Structure 1
Amino acid sequence: MENTKKINIHHLTLIGVMAAVTCILGPLSLPIGIVPISLTNLVIYFSVYVLGQKRGTLSYIVYLLIGLIGLPVFSGFSGGFTKLFGPTGGYLIGFIFMAFISGIFIDKFSNKIYMCFLGMIIGTIVAYILGTAWLAYQANLTFNATLAIGVLPFIAGDLAKMVIAALVGPQIKKRLISAGLY
């Protein structure tokens, strides 16, 4: 019984650590327009690799809640409900689905890098769809105009983040396991 509690405490700690890492790296962004380039999705990919689907998604939700109460953890050191209801709020919500979908593939096919990569791509597409739809509504833009500012500039960088996560994420998890922290 104690071992189960210890594992749960370790998992809770890792969820908190990954949420904290997201809080540290999430605000770092490069403003290129309405939608900035940030490291949030890279940390989400790492979280899912390290924690698995459920705990990785939970880690992002903890980060989201921290930002929603007003702490400046979102891109550009912003926070609060206004960010969620602003032009990039759809991406913030979309990242929940990105973590969940990516995690399904990463958990099920952890030894097949191409399947993990496919899961990250599908999850990111879902985040793009939700973010683009909300951005189009908020900014009163056409679908094509929204794609041009909310998706196309991010594809190459997001693919690079997926590659980094696919190469480094499993190594981080292995080291945590070998250190007895997972």
Structure 2
Amino acid sequence: MSTQTHRQNINKTADMTKMALMVAMNCISAYIIIPLPFSMSPIALQTLIVNLTGYLLTAKQAFITMLVYLLIGLAGVPVFTGGSGGPGKLFGPTGGYLFGFLVTAVFLAYTRGENYNFKRYALLGCVIGVPLIYAFGVAQLKLVTGMDWTKALLTGALPFIPLDVVKCLAAAALAYPIQRAINNSNNR
């Protein structure tokens, strides 16, 4: 085997490992929740992981990663928020957020640029990424429950904005040291 072929195999293995780790981190983050008595959706750590997925992977890798996560949950494995899974969760009142995760991770991966920039990452995550998640989540919440737009926004988006901004900033800050560690391990 040539050195170039060996290096390509190492890179493919590293990419597959990154993708598998992001799926696992998303599954684990779904268990870290704060229930809200006035909302069907709890506060979860997943926004941070969705953003990291977009910041650390290519758009294609982010799509595959989030699709695998959704398919695992659709199959009934309890990897969605609060340890739930199955088609009832994915297509139920709060399932739109899960679809928003996929779109947001791909969007962030596609638009983040080649070089790390905290301000750009934070701006993309806070100003476009989180609203994308909310758009899918609130739309499905309204569609499935029949509630009006105001109530859907008040229960499905508004309470989550402050902590989602914090999670976006944390993901933007964590992306650089994680990417650096990954690059250092690939160069060994």
TM-score, structure 1 normalization: 0.92
For 1:2, the aligned partner's letter is H
Which whole-Å deviations, capped at 9, do the CAs of 1:58-96 have from their partners, x for residues lacking one? 222211111111111111100011101110111111111
Alignment size in residue pairs: 181
> How far off its partner does 1:56 sit?
2.6
- Which is greater in Rg? 2
Q: 2:106 is paired with a residue of what secondary structure? A: helix
Name the residue aligned to 1:24: 28
Q: What SS does the corresponding residue of 2:186 show, helix, strand or coil?
A: coil
SS in 2 for 1:141: coil
CA distance in 2, matches of 1:166, 1:144: 31
Comparing 115-124 with 90-99, greater Cα deviation is found at: 115-124
Q: Quote the offset at 1:181 in angstroms.
A: 7.1
Match for residue 122 of structure 2 among 114, 117, 125 = 117
Distance 2:146 2:95 in 1: 15
TM-score normalized by the length of structure 2: 0.89
Match of 2:151 among 145, 148, 167: 145
Q: Where in structure 2 are the equivalents of 1:97-108 lying within 5 Å?
A: 97-106=103-112, 108=113
Task: For 1:117, give the aligned amino acid.
Answer: A
Amino acid at match of 1:111: Y
How far residue 147 of structure 1 moved from its aligned partner, in angstroms, is 0.5
Question: Deviation of residue 41 (structure 1)?
Answer: 1.4
Structure 1: runs of 5+ lacking an equivalent:
none
Match status 1:157 vs 2:159: no
SS at match of 2:82: coil
What percentage of residue pairs aligned between the two structures are identical? 33
RMSD (Å) for aligned C-alpha atoms:
1.7
Does 1:48 find its partner at 2:54? yes
Aligned partner of 2:138 in structure 1 is 132
Q: Which runs of 5+ in 2 are unaligned?
A: none
How far apart are the structure 2 equivalents of 1:50 and 1:96? Answer: 14
